[in-house]
């Protein structure tokens, strides 16, 4: 039995494709590091709960890797910058003190196998969310 293609995640004017490890805003590729994209993938996959720093480290770097204690926080900071998210008034990533991080935006999930080219009106309507 073949594995199902990974889901595509859309939130506000962003689109995240975990298979391509690609984040787009209004159809334009956003420059962000691979670890930050790994953090994004972990947070949107587990958006129903907070994800601890230790769990993020295991999911993104692997459990055998010994990290600088600030590596996860630095990757989250880089991701927030790419998303233009404000730590003190977040739209996407909320810090849960003592617990980790949680993705708080509404996410639309589409199976990659069902995606085709997006019509122009979809791109326009999606792009308007970033203007608000």
Nearest residue to 47 (alpha-carbon basis) of 87, 116, 93, 12:
93
Put simply, whether the predicted model's pTM sits higher than 0.75 gets the answer yes
Q: What is the pLDDT of residues 113-127, one digit of tens each?
A: 655 544 443 444 444
64-74 pLDDT tens trace: 777 787 899 99
pLDDT digits (tens, 9 = 90+) for 29-77: 999 999 999 999 999 999 999 999 999 999 999 877 777 878 999 999 9
Q: Are 51 and 43 in contact (CB under 8 A)?
A: yes
**Helix, strand, coil content of the chain in percent (nearest 5):** 35, 20, 40
Alpha helices in 1-132 (DSSP H): 34-45, 53-60, 71-83, 120-131
Tell me what pLDDT residue 120 has: 40
């Amino acid at each position: 039995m073949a594995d199902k293609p990974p889901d595509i995640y859309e939130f506000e004017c962003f689109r995240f494709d975990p298979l391509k490890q690609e984040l787009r805003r209004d159809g334009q590729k956003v420059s962000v590091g691979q670890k930050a994209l790994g953090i994004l993938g972990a947070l949107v996959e587990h958006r129903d709960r907070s994800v601890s720093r230790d769990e993020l480290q295991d999911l993104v770097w692997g459990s055998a890797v010994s990290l600088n204690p600030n590596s996860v926080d630095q990757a989250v900071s880089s991701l927030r910058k790419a998303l233009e998210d404000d730590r003190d008034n977040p739209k996407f990533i909320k810090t849960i003190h003592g617990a980790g991080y949680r993705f708080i935006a509404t996410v639309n999930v589409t199976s990659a196998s069902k995606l085709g080219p997006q019509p122009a009106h979809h791109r326009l309507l999606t792009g308007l969310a970033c203007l608000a």
